[in-house]
A and B are shown apart, each in its own frame.
Chain A
Amino acid sequence: MEKTVNHKAWFLVLPVLVLVAFSAVVPLMTVVNYSVQDTFGNNEFFWAGLEWFDEMLNSQRMWDALGRQLAFSAIILAIEVPLGIFVALNMPKKGFWASVCLVLMALPLLIPWNVVGTIWQIFGRVDIGLLGYTLDKLGIPYNYTQDFFAAWATVIIMDVWHWTSLVALLAYAGLQSIPDAYYQATKIDQASRWAVFRFIELPKMQGVLMIAILLRFMDSFMIYTEPFVVTGGGPGNSTTFLSIDLVKMALGQFDLGPAAAFSIMYFLVILLISWVFYTVMTNLDKRETGR
């Protein structure tokens, strides 16, 4: 049969194109525009080519921020994923207490980022904060505004407090979907508790865990508000992560060109990592459904 060609169908795509243009293409092109030009105000622009990209790639400051960022994401993933699984394994499976647990677990997820930052900023203060005051009285040196280690510990514990629930809830959903027969079979086969986890629970949670890791990685890689509120990136530059550095550069120093180049590279890194995750996940799916 001859396929009929109807060009009017393109009009149906138009609304989406307009939406995407305003939500993504136009803002992104603005940034691209800044990244290849130099401006001295008065809306005067001079062509700069790839100069800013070159400068950023050779900037120790950016590499340091990237290093801190990767370290931060790696640490919180290393804590939140196992801890989330552990919590999920120990949550009641059904009944009243299961609901109570779910609500309690969901609470931190509902708190706005800057409120989380404020809570921990106050909680950790040595003069009025419960945590800071107690540690200080116990003779443990703790001052996140001056001590590098205390600052990192505070930011990491805050993130763990805020986001472990997400991993736990996803893992819990994965566990709930395992039919009883699997547990019965492991009892018949006399499998150890570890073997049940290794051969039943972990494989069945694989899908949701990939999503949890992806979400937590992307989110932690873009973290801004909480460390900004708690430490402001300090002491020194010790908790200055990529987006904090970016904001300092763009709004603090008003270096629009370098900041734009920085933004684009930041965006590309996130895109690249998302692509890697996506590829890994779809490959796992393929393996799941057979060769």
Chain B
Amino acid sequence: MSLLRSTTPAQNASGVGTARGSAGMKTLVITLVGWSVALVIFFPILWMILTGFKTESAAIADPSFIFTPTLESYEAVQARSGYARFALNSVAVAFGSTFLALLIAIPSAYAMAFLPTKRTKGTLLWMLSTKMLPPVGVLVPIYLIFRDVGLLDTRTGLIIIYTLMNLPIVVWMLYTFFKDMPKDILEAGRMDGASTLQEVFFLLLPLTLPGIASTGLLSVILSWNEAFWSLNLTSSKAAPLTAYIASFSSPEGLFWAKLSAASTMAIAPILILGWMTQKQMVRGLTFGAVK
């Protein structure tokens, strides 16, 4: 929208009197800008996918789009094995933490959206402010705690840390979705004899399901892509795909092709999931921005 507005004066100046032509120009410019931005954002991913199909020597040679594709990096990566185990950890941790986060966030967002107090806005802001602390700031205490309670290199430990990490965003998003739900409907339910739990299960959840789904999806993606905590808190047993990728960079020097192949395999599931649900995703992220 802001893009559209910013181009308007220029268009008006160049296309005085030809309203249709200027509208066409505007569309063209917007389309070009849109595609350029998309390309810039997508390029690293594209390059990674391409590099995955190169030989190790081609990968470090001068960058080129023209090469003979080969699956040798993928074979090498497979040979090292372990992908399935890491992937399983990623799935368990991403979905486990998302489930847990929703379980905690739904009641809290309900309370904040429908039973607000003077301090609700403050609480929400405070929750979000925890996201502004660089995680490394609490790495040492959390590491020590995890060591002492035996959560190092466990899925449970990662699920807990990811839940805490995503909770502010999940609560915020659910809060916006719940706020958007007409209060009358819940009150009608209450008049019809619904208890709070029935209200939530029969009315609130079915009606905000798209929002809950996109919130969950975002939480899954964030957990899936998280690298800092997984690298620091896991070593082998509970290590997810992010740790798997990282393992290609350090021990034997940099193997770009193998690293790219591993990365492609790591992001593939989430990329496909995102693709299939992009409609909900966009709705979820921009929800409430424009009424």
Interaction A to B: no
Binding site for A on B (CB under 8 A): none
- Chain A interfacial positions (CB closer than 8 Å to B): none
